[in-house]
Structure 1
């Protein structure tokens, strides 16, 4: 399954949320343990640059440090530049079959890299929105697919990427089910 379009949609939503970040909010704590908003934006920038570099480096380690995203005087512009680079790097269909090294996760096909990026985009878009108090409303299809994709990955928790799953009612929205699955308390 080619998730690039859903990843683009998730990134568009995240970009809209990030565009509302004000400098005085950068030191706010986020739902991501141990990260301020500044740290979360740095992570998003690093990740976008890392995934983009991986498409060219293949199975060799890229020269991009997955933890070194820099935030300058305009964090919103920094985020959008890195996001555009990521999106452009995953346009060719051939990238989905290409093996690439993704940070600490090792070598995966490009299609798996897109899946990883997609679930991270949905989770962190919500994290940023929750931190700055703005709406984050992916449609039910996008949220349901994020949950479905996330369930393909190992469920042992906590991991490098996700916390312990949170109990949630069966009648919760698809977004809330996804958030609980990745270790966020939707409430």
Structure 2
């Protein structure tokens, strides 16, 4: 399994959701606490820019990780930043080279890209829920993201306000793998606007 292919496909699925965001959606709440649709889009573009810069340079300044600008065309801003990520990771022979991911530490680029893939899969759901459209990611994208989500410690020191993820929420024992993924990352699969 090539993580670059998984990430490209997850980014494309997220892009399809973003293409459906309309100006009237931008102020809607999302399953991400404290983020409207506009705030989440800005976060997604910023993360893409940070991942791309860090993959190329080994690290990126905090302003890059937080500076995403949407302008008047959030879908265009996303598209440009998503292409930058794909281009930055295109040199497959360098996937074991270390890169710094925000304040979370240095990881081989291959592992860092799994973080990005996870974000794409879950943020696509966040946006789809916020704007009221269906989203059902392919099983292999969910399985890869779920594998990573199961490894993220569910402790107060690793999750909660200011951390990358909220504390996990309980889901049914018969929940789908995707709903399990959402629950592990602190999202209620039944969330609605």
TM-score normalised according to structure 2 size: 0.91
> Is 2:43–2:66's contact at 8 Å kept on the other side of the alignment?
yes
- In structure 2, the partner of 1:151 is 150
RMSD: 1.5
User: What is the CA–CA distance in structure 2 between the aligned matches of 1:180 and 1:16, rounded to whole Å?
Assistant: 23
Gaps of 5+ in 2: none
The equivalent residue for 1:82 is 81
Structure 2 counterpart SS, 1:154: coil
Aligned-partner Cα distance in 2 for 1:55–1:139: 26
Output the TM-score relative to the length of structure 1. Answer: 0.93
Cα drift, residue 140 of structure 1: 2.3
SS of the residue aligned with 1:105?
A: coil
Q: Which residue of 1 aligns with 2:66?
A: 67
| Count of paired positions | 186
Of 146, 169, 173, 2:176 maps to 173
Unaligned runs of 5+ in 1: none
Shift of residue 61, structure 1, vs aligned partner: 4.0
Contact map agreement 1:49 1:64 (CA 8 A) in 2: no
TM-superposed deviation, 1:64: 5.1
Mark the CA change 1:44 to 1:71 in structure 2 (over 3 Å): closer, same or farther. same
CA deviation map 1:76-120 (0-9, x unaligned) = 111111111111111111331111111111211101110110111
Aligned to 2:189: 186
- 1:113 aligned onto 2:88: no
The residue that corresponds to 2:14 in the other structure is 14
Between 1:48-57 and 1:155-164, the stretch displaced more is 155-164
Correspondence for 1:27: 27
- Kept after mapping to 1: 8 A contact 2:28/2:37: yes
